[in-house]
Amino acid sequence: MKTAQQSPALQFILDQDVKLTDRFVSFLMRFATFKSLKIHCKFLEISCDGIAWLFTWTAFIWLLSSQELYQIQANMLIGLILDIVIVAVIKAFVRRRRPSPVTDSYAIGPDKFSFPSGHASRAFYVLTFFTQLHALPIIFWMPITAWAVSVVLSRLVLRRHFILDVCAGALIGILEAAFLGLIWLSSDSANYLIGFLSEDKILSEST
């Protein structure tokens, strides 16, 4: 974080966060379950990348043109954009450095700032969206929860973030979903918004 205005209390918290993260990751690596998680960390990183989600969800809107889906599609898209903007603004302001430089060639556009974790915020936004706002059948809740938690843990294992980063990110994701619930687009508004992305399809369905 910014060192010019950093108080001794904040510095103490950050130092403890670094130590706790190191101890926690070392503890996780003692167990075979989390060692296997490390093997899948690269996939988990890509599976929750912001650009990948935005591109994939936009493609989903284009490919599956159904008025029954417009409301969920539009609201999810708003939340994804909101998440990217909020995380980018906070990172630009806080400017906390990552635990280690990102040098992996497979990583999709990683920035150099750590707080908060965009992957954690996005994972918990998606989790909250599909369990609270537009609830999927309960049979899917456990897999999507396991995915969200695994994404968060993978950020620590890959040394992309500290514990405070992922905790803040998860909280931000939940708050984003709660805010989206307050501004939830109606069916008519969602149809209008989707019209900017697939106008021809909506017009053909309405005639």
184-202 pLDDT tens trace: 999 888 888 887 666 554 4
Distance CA 174, CA 79 (A): 11
Q: Which residue has the higher pLDDT, 62 or 152?
A: 152
The predicted structure's pLDDT at residue 75: 94
174 within domain boundaries: yes
64 within domain boundaries: no
> Which domain range does residue 169 map to?
36-48+81-184
Mean pLDDT across the chain: 84
The predicted structure's pLDDT at residue 103: 54
11 within domain boundaries: no
Q: What's the chain's length in residues?
A: 207
85 within domain boundaries: yes
User: Which of 24-38, 60-74, 87-101 reaches the highest mean pLDDT?
Assistant: 87-101
Number of domains in the chain: 1
99 within domain boundaries: yes
76 within domain boundaries: no
Q: Where do we find the tokens 């989790």?
A: 127
Burial of 189 from C-beta contacts in 10 A (0-12 / 13-18 / 19+): middle
**3 state SS of 97:** strand
143 within domain boundaries: yes
- Going by pLDDT thresholds of 50, 70 and 90, the confidence category of residue 58 is confident
Give the mean pLDDT of 157-177. 95
152 within domain boundaries: yes
